[in-house]
A and B are shown apart, each in its own frame.
Chain A
Amino acid sequence: MDFNDSPDEAAYRQQVRDWLDANAPKARVAGDPEGGDGMAASKAWQAKKAEAGYACITWPKEWGGQGGTPVQNVIFSQEEAKYPIPGNPFQIGLGMCVPTVMTFADEETKKRFVGPALRGEEIWSQLFSEPSGGSDVAGARTKAERAPDGSGDWIISGQKMWTTGAQFSDFGIVITRTSPDKPKHKGLTMFWIDMKDPGVEVKPIHQMSGGSGFNEVFFTNVRVKDSQRLGAVDDGWRVSLVTLMNERLAVGGQTGAGWQQFMEAARNTPGLDGGSALKDGALREKLADWYVQAEGLKHTRNRTMTALSRGQTPGPESSIGKIISAVQMQELGNTAIEMLDQYGIIDDPELASLNGAFHFSLMFGPGLRIAGGTDEILRNIIAERVLGLPGDIRVDKDVPFKDMPTGR
């Protein structure tokens, strides 16, 4: 038991370090990563990685990858993170959308899209969630109907929601309702679409936290070719499972201020007895709990990495991360704010401690507890897929979609 690379891993890490040393940016580009200079820098870095085979390490060589292992991918990410690299708006496309295209599209389509996506020339969005359903993806209502002119084309109408990066995306994959007469899982079809098509309208969502990282996407009679279909008609649920399976492999680390920042803030805040708030037993106990959780997650990632390193499929332990980290983000932010007493209400970055990082945690935490699988859905996943408990009794499985009750 140790934390060392195997000889092969060490050699790969050295190769990556040498390449990064020669090629990685030395200074961070200022500006919004979602536009302007930031985007240009992101695209330039992506192109450089693609040229050297580091953009999608695990992809086959014929598609621009290295045919590498998941461990090599992790090693590259670890080393890359040591440099002031620009933001990565390609993750959803390369991690989920393009692999779906690669699995279900014809050769011509693959040849057209894989290279430009790999090189960062084109950005992809995943259009699954809707106003009427986020956790329940199979409840999608956005319609796709055959064009009445007999061309075989499809006409898409409806609305998607919580689409990350839609405002700067070139293409997307969209799940639609093609057969409302069939039960919900059996009447869905997947398409790729051009986000610049007439009838596609992107509107940013104003989040409760004040920012706008996600979008609503409206489809008004958007015409697509039958050749844009991914998988068979009404087989879109199976296609979406391929997309979402890739989502599970995207592992996140700590978000927002952590126990270190809390400890520093407590040290610098007056406590109840006139000394430092860091002497407060109640706060110390919470600090210990957060440290233990953060360490637990870190070493859980080390266990996952070990499984990959041994050529095994990581166990279900990797599914616990967000359940812990999102709740901790919200709780830690709130505890820090209450520690400040009356002053805690001030979130002006000029006045608030750590430029308002704790206030950000408080206001963004609720979103993190929902995005990418709610706390509740993640518990269902653990219960059903890890522990093998039965799925919920489904009242919607065999009912034609059009006859299902709908609320708000």
Chain B
Amino acid sequence: MNFDFSDDQKSLKGEARKFLGANCPTSRARGVLENSAAGYDAELWKSVAAQGWLGAAIPEEFGGLGLGHLELCVIAEELGRAVAPIPFASTVYFLAEAIMLAGDDEQKADLLPRIAAGEIIGAIATSEGPGATTAATLQSTVTDGKLTGVKIPVTDGDIADVALVLAKEGGKPGLYLVELRGEGVTREAVKTLDPTRDAAKLTFKDAPVRRVGAAGAGIELVEQVFDRAAILIAFEQCGGADRCLEMAKEYALERYAFGRVIASYQAIKHKLADMYVKNELARSNAYYGAWALNTNAAELPVAASAARIAASEAYWFASKENIQTHGGIGFTWEMDCHLFYRRSRQLSLVAGAPRVWKERLVSHLERRNAAAA
């Protein structure tokens, strides 16, 4: 049994923690939070690109490091732990993964080297309003290679160069690449729960597109991309949830009430134990997702669903109970607790809410059962 990261991968994780410890203290996230014009931390983005992390899983022939997805998982965990205010997920987990999965040679040669070098920022645009987007609700359309429609919210939509857009062509959903600095694109920033991450409303009027993958395969392709992103995001969530538990623990060991540290009260101890249990369940599910992602296993959709559900639950619980453990001071703007609380919401929603993933998981289990019967 070898169900763990290798020594090399662990040492990469250690380096990432050290690097982010020095270059991404929470003051960086706070800097973006308090400067609504910023969108992201451009300096941090540059230094992360210089580390080669954007191309960790991109093959060397396209300018990446040619490592595997396991390496990307350990980096993701550290970025989550540091609540890094950069468009890493949009660019790497969504755009790069989609292009590696379904892009043609020209798209790969065009985009992957620029992603790896940190020259472009990506985004994925599927949502068009309240509720999950499905083939039935999808409104955006592509006609004669031109896209028209409205997407909201689009994470990093205001800072991205290229977006993947889900739209219908001839009545069938497809996935399309749009140059956001080109014609026919209007962007408006939108306010969100997590201002440390950029978001926008994108309005397209006859914007030129390139299709990614087969015509009419948009929904399936988005599901595959979301499966892959969900696992990487699960590692960010594990990193954030573990940091919340640490913060709660550190505070509980320092704070006195009724003559002793609050960490000595069972109400607090059991709360922290519950955080630990949820975090471990999330980590174990994320590890299985990492294995499935790295080996492109048939179980990938089920593993991704389980990883996303467990990690969303763990980060939600840890981020809210971290505030509770801090008491009144945890409710202040100056305390970092809300950075994690906000980010936990962003990560739980960006690739589709846990409710949707639970439904997907059970549907997969039904099909698997029917196949076995």
Listed in ascending order, the chain A residues whose CB lies under 8 Å from chain B are: 1-6, 9, 71, 260, 263-264, 278, 281, 284-285, 287-289, 291-293, 295-300, 302-303, 305-307, 309-310, 317, 320, 323-324, 376, 378-380, 382-384, 386-393
Query: Residue A263 contacts which of B281, B313, B359, B366 (CB distance < 8 angstroms)?
Result: B366
The complex places the Cα of A260 from the Cα of B282 at a distance, in Å, of 21
Given the interface contacts A303-B287, A389-B253, does A323 sit within 8 Å of B1 by beta carbon?
A: no
Given the interface contacts A324-B281, A392-B266, does A305 sit within 8 Å of B3 by beta carbon?
A: yes
> Closest CB-CB distance, A136 to chain B, in whole Å?
14
The complex places the Cα of A289 from the Cα of B365 at a distance, in Å, of 13
Do B280 and A2 have beta carbons less than 8 Å apart?
no
B163 within 8 A of A: no
Query: Residue B273 contacts which of A284, A296, A387 (CB distance < 8 angstroms)?
Result: A387
The complex places the Cα of A383 from the Cα of B366 at a distance, in Å, of 38
A contact residues around B3 at 8 Å (CB): 1-3, 299, 302-303, 305-306
Do A1 and B290 have beta carbons less than 8 Å apart?
yes
B274 within 8 A of A: yes
Do B306 and A380 have beta carbons less than 8 Å apart?
no
Not counting A291-B365, A292-B281, A387-B272, a sample of 11 additional A-B residue pairs whose C-beta atoms are within 8 angstroms of each other reads: A2-B3, A3-B291, A260-B369, A285-B359, A288-B361, A317-B280, A376-B270, A380-B270, A387-B276, A390-B261, A390-B263
The complex places the Cα of A306 from the Cα of B3 at a distance, in Å, of 6
A contact residues around B273 at 8 Å (CB): 378-380, 382-383, 386-387
Do A382 and B277 have beta carbons less than 8 Å apart?
yes
Do B358 and A299 have beta carbons less than 8 Å apart?
no
Do B365 and A383 have beta carbons less than 8 Å apart?
no
B252 within 8 A of A: yes
B310 within 8 A of A: yes
Query: Residue A289 contacts which of B266, B358, B359, B366 (CB distance < 8 angstroms)?
Result: B358
B contact residues around A297 at 8 Å (CB): 281, 284
Question: Closest chain A residue to B370 by CB distance?
Answer: A267
Size range of the interface on B?
35 or more
B82 within 8 A of A: no
Query: Residue B294 contacts which of A1, A284, A302, A384 (CB distance < 8 angstroms)?
Result: A1
Do B310 and A292 have beta carbons less than 8 Å apart?
yes
B contact residues around A309 at 8 Å (CB): 1-2
Given the interface contacts A302-B1, A305-B3, does A389 sit within 8 Å of B359 by beta carbon?
A: no
Do A6 and B280 have beta carbons less than 8 Å apart?
no
A-B contact count (CB 8 A): 155
Question: Closest chain A residue to B6 by CB distance?
Answer: A1
The complex places the Cα of A284 from the Cα of B252 at a distance, in Å, of 37
Do B2 and A4 have beta carbons less than 8 Å apart?
yes
Do A389 and B280 have beta carbons less than 8 Å apart?
no
Listed in ascending order, the chain B residues whose CB lies under 8 Å from chain A are: 1-6, 70, 245, 249, 252-253, 260-261, 263-264, 266, 268-270, 272-274, 276-277, 280-282, 284-285, 287-288, 290-291, 294-295, 305-306, 309-310, 313, 355, 357-359, 361-362, 365-366, 369
Do B309 and A288 have beta carbons less than 8 Å apart?
yes
A contact residues around B310 at 8 Å (CB): 292, 296
Question: Closest chain B residue to A6 by CB distance?
Answer: B2
The complex places the Cα of A260 from the Cα of B277 at a distance, in Å, of 23
The complex places the Cα of A379 from the Cα of B276 at a distance, in Å, of 10
Given the interface contacts A299-B284, A303-B287, A324-B277, does A379 sit within 8 Å of B358 by beta carbon?
A: no
Question: Closest chain A residue to B5 by CB distance?
Answer: A1
A contact residues around B280 at 8 Å (CB): 296, 300, 317, 320
B contact residues around A388 at 8 Å (CB): 249
The complex places the Cα of A302 from the Cα of B284 at a distance, in Å, of 9
The complex places the Cα of A223 from the Cα of B338 at a distance, in Å, of 65
Do A292 and B369 have beta carbons less than 8 Å apart?
no
Question: Closest chain A residue to B269 by CB distance?
Answer: A383
Do A320 and B276 have beta carbons less than 8 Å apart?
yes
B contact residues around A378 at 8 Å (CB): 273
The complex places the Cα of A387 from the Cα of B252 at a distance, in Å, of 11
A contact residues around B288 at 8 Å (CB): 295, 299
Given the interface contacts A263-B369, A390-B261, does A285 sit within 8 Å of B355 by beta carbon?
A: yes
B contact residues around A384 at 8 Å (CB): 269
The complex places the Cα of A316 from the Cα of B273 at a distance, in Å, of 12
Do B264 and A306 have beta carbons less than 8 Å apart?
no
Question: Closest chain B residue to A285 by CB distance?
Answer: B358
Do B266 and A380 have beta carbons less than 8 Å apart?
yes
Do B282 and A306 have beta carbons less than 8 Å apart?
no
Offer 22 A-B interface pairs, CB within 8 angstroms, sorted by A. A1-B70, A1-B294, A4-B2, A5-B1, A263-B366, A284-B359, A285-B358, A288-B309, A289-B309, A289-B358, A291-B362, A296-B280, A296-B306, A299-B285, A299-B288, A303-B284, A306-B1, A306-B3, A309-B2, A376-B266, A387-B276, A392-B266
Do B260 and A386 have beta carbons less than 8 Å apart?
no
Query: Residue A389 contacts which of B2, B70, B269, B282 (CB distance < 8 angstroms)?
Result: B269
> Closest CB-CB distance, B335 to chain A, in whole Å?
21
Given the interface contacts A1-B294, A296-B282, A320-B277, does A305 sit within 8 Å of B362 by beta carbon?
A: no
The complex places the Cα of A390 from the Cα of B357 at a distance, in Å, of 39
B contact residues around A6 at 8 Å (CB): 2
Do A300 and B270 have beta carbons less than 8 Å apart?
no
